[in-house]
Amino acid sequence: MADTAKLTVGDQSIELPIVEGSEGERGLDIRKLRSEMGLITLDPGYANTGSCQSRITFIDGDKGILRYRGIPIEEVAENSTFLEVAYLLIYGTLPTRDQFKNFHASITYHTMIHEDFKRFFGALPKDAHPMAACSASVGALSTFYPDSLDPRDPRQVEVSVHRLIAKMITLAAYAYKHSIGQPFMYPANNRSYVANLLYMVFGTPCEEYIVDPVIERVIDMLLILHADHEQNCSTSAVRLVGSSMVNLFSSIAAGINALRGPSHGGANQEVINMLAAIRDEGMTARQFVERAKRGDPTARLMGFGHRVYKNFDPRMKIIKKGCFDVLGKLGVHSKLLEIAVELEEIAIKDDYFVERKLYPNVDFYSGVTYTAIGIPSNMFTAFFALGRLPGWIAQWMEMHHDPDFKIGRPRQIYTGPTLTHYVPIEER
Ligand code: CMC
């Protein structure tokens, strides 16, 4: 197969190299296009633009394939743990027993946060959304740890990575406790990573809190399923911000802010709001689907559609099964789950959704699962962020080791006024 493509514009031609990935994906390397032809590419939403070459996560959106470092998501979700997946994404291979022991010990060691964070959270309004509190507090970590901010010092990066993974559960739990006015719980490091998180979210100093192993396992699985998704909006935000050579904490805070949007990770909270509205307003699932077909971007069927998956989202299949399993094990009946299943059944057979290749995504059943196990809806996206953290970190580190590293700086086609002169205010 040709390894260059010829582009002719008017009487000028250029040979563009074709880059091929390990799974056969092909792309045109257009780097010389502007210097040799005076042209840029225009691709709103970067829907067909490769921003980097990456070895971390492979997605085939037509076949519904997702792999972390080559391993299918189904195998990882079934057999691994979130911390092991974090290691896999960040360091590139599954850890040996010793490597994992050291990693686990280091993450556990760093879970406590500076006591001054209590005052930091205290300064936020009570109704602050936990995602806003998380991004603010993760950004603030750079003020507490000025000793580890150099993105090109491997030792400093290592310490920041471990601190971030460890402290993020504590910060997320504090953000929630602040919003409900309960005392902050110190981490209890004899517990697993996920059990520690649940303890800090649900525990109080008044009673012993025993973590249900069924809930611990399902949260671990949800974190695994969210751990990376190649160049999505928040990951691209982390890479773009990080490309300015700012520290890891500031880069990750940018990712948290991007994730909060309802078109991205914030959709999991929106799905529950949608299901609850259908239940409470006496609307039928069919009426809601009809409304979502009007093309109004504010009335979409939340948890449906994906930029990359055009057949099915493999994470959704695993979550849906996990959702039924956990509800069955806990003996919980969920009206919201019934509505979700009905919506899915109607939408996947409806021409509007079929023609546009809109299928349920990762967020469609995750909110129902979180609700069934008692996670408050304003924490759903924070749990997504906890899951995505190792992916953001791995992508940020990969970018810094990339021989093609450059500050991210897209171009534009200017369509504003041509040269116009300043008019003094009295003459306007
Ligand atoms: N409900 C109704 N119509 C939809 C939906 C939906 N959920 N999603 C897309 N469409 C329509 C859209 O109106 C457009 O129709 P037309 O061609 O007639 O103008 C067509 O489908 C293509 O939509 P698009 O907005 O151009 O597609 P996109 O790839 O830019 O957007 C998306 C992808 C995920 C933002 C979008 O599908 C959406 O808003 N979904 C609902 C929010 C959601 O569930 N987000 C979570 C995404 S998965 C997890 C994550 O990324 O964090």
Give the pLDDT confidence of 92-114 residue by residue, as tens digits: 999 999 999 999 999 999 999 99
Confidence of residue 241 (pLDDT cuts 50, 70, 90): very high
Q: Which of 352, 369, 379, 18 has the alpha carbon at shortest distance from 177?
A: 379
pLDDT value of position 299: 84
pLDDT value of position 88: 98
| CA 187 to ligand 1 center in whole angstroms | 39
Q: Is 313 a catalytic residue?
A: no
Q: Kindly report the pTM of this predicted structure.
A: 0.95
Q: Please give the mean pLDDT across all residues of the chain.
A: 95
With residues binned 3-state (H G I as helix, E B as strand, rest as coil), the percentages for the chain, rounded to 5, are 55, 5, 35
Give the pLDDT confidence of 334-362 residue by residue, as tens digits: 899 999 999 999 999 999 999 999 999 99
Q: Collect all residues with Cβ–Cβ distance below 8 Å to 290 and sequence separation of at least 6.
A: none
Most informative mutation of 356, 363, 364 for ligand 1 (most atoms within 8 A of CB): 356
Going by alpha carbons, the residue nearest to atom 2 of ligand 1 is 300
pLDDT value of position 1: 63
**Is the CB of residue 386 less than 8 Å from the CB of residue 223?**
yes
Percent share of the chain, pLDDT over 70: 100
**Is the CB of residue 186 less than 8 Å from the CB of residue 194?**
no
**Is the CB of residue 322 less than 8 Å from the CB of residue 221?**
yes
Give the separation between CA 334 and CA 338, rounded to whole angstroms: 7
Give the tokens for residue 199.
Answer: 């303890």
pLDDT value of position 283: 87
DSSP classification of residue 204: B
To 10 degrees, what angle do helices 213-225 and 314-330 make?
A: 170
Going by alpha carbons, the residue nearest to atom 18 of ligand 1 is 295
pLDDT at 2 over 90: no
Catalytic residue among 162, 226, 306, 313: 306
**Is the CB of residue 233 less than 8 Å from the CB of residue 258?**
yes
Going by alpha carbons, the residue nearest to atom 27 of ligand 1 is 307
Q: Which of 256, 226, 237, 262 has the alpha carbon at shortest distance from 140?
A: 256
* Mean pLDDT for the stretch of residues 264-280: 93
Max distance between CA atoms of the chain, in angstroms, equals 79
* Mean pLDDT for the stretch of residues 316-327: 93
Give the separation between CA 180 and CA 194, rounded to whole angstroms: 21
What is the CB neighbour count within 10 angstroms for residue 190? 8
Q: Which of 67, 61, 107, 65 has the alpha carbon at shortest distance from 88?
A: 67
| CA 189 to ligand 1 center in whole angstroms | 41
Q: Which amino acid is at 384?
A: F
| CA 85 to ligand 1 center in whole angstroms | 29
Going by alpha carbons, the residue nearest to atom 3 of ligand 1 is 300
Beta bridge partners of 9: 12
CA dihedral 161, 167, 172, 175 (to 10 degrees): -130
Going by alpha carbons, the residue nearest to atom 35 of ligand 1 is 263
Most informative mutation of 306, 357, 365 for ligand 1 (most atoms within 8 A of CB): 306
Catalytic residue among 29, 363, 400, 421: 363
**Is the CB of residue 178 less than 8 Å from the CB of residue 133?**
yes
DSSP classification of residue 298: G
Give the separation between CA 428 and CA 129, rounded to whole angstroms: 44
Going by alpha carbons, the residue nearest to atom 19 of ligand 1 is 295
| CA 305 to ligand 1 center in whole angstroms | 5
pLDDT value of position 423: 98
Give the pLDDT confidence of 5-55 residue by residue, as tens digits: 999 999 999 999 999 999 999 999 999 999 999 999 999 999 999 999 999
Pocket of ligand 1, beta carbon within 6 A:
45, 232, 263-265, 267, 292, 295, 300-307, 356, 358, 361-363
What is the CB neighbour count within 10 angstroms for residue 406? 8
Q: Collect all residues with Cβ–Cβ distance below 8 Å to 418 and sequence separation of at least 6.
A: none
Give the separation between CA 15 and CA 92, rounded to whole angstroms: 34
Give the tokens for residue 149.
Answer: 């901010």
pLDDT at 365 over 90: yes
Give the separation between CA 65 and CA 367, rounded to whole angstroms: 22
Give the pLDDT confidence of 134-193 residue by residue, as tens digits: 999 999 999 999 999 999 999 999 999 999 999 999 999 999 999 999 999 999 999 999
Most informative mutation of 300, 301, 309, 350 for ligand 1 (most atoms within 8 A of CB): 300
Asked whether the CA dihedral 390, 392, 322, 168 is positive or negative, the reply is positive
pLDDT at 282 over 90: no
Confidence of residue 332 (pLDDT cuts 50, 70, 90): confident
Going by alpha carbons, the residue nearest to atom 46 of ligand 1 is 264
Give the separation between CA 357 and CA 311, rounded to whole angstroms: 7
* Mean pLDDT for the stretch of residues 223-230: 98
Count of alpha carbons within 13 Å of 220, Cβ hemisphere only?
22
Most informative mutation of 73, 263, 343 for ligand 1 (most atoms within 8 A of CB): 263
Q: Is 363 a catalytic residue?
A: yes
pLDDT value of position 296: 84
* Mean pLDDT for the stretch of residues 278-288: 91
pLDDT value of position 297: 81
Exposed (0-12), middle (13-18) or buried (19+): which is 350, by Cβ within 10 Å? middle
Give the separation between CA 340 and CA 108, rounded to whole angstroms: 37
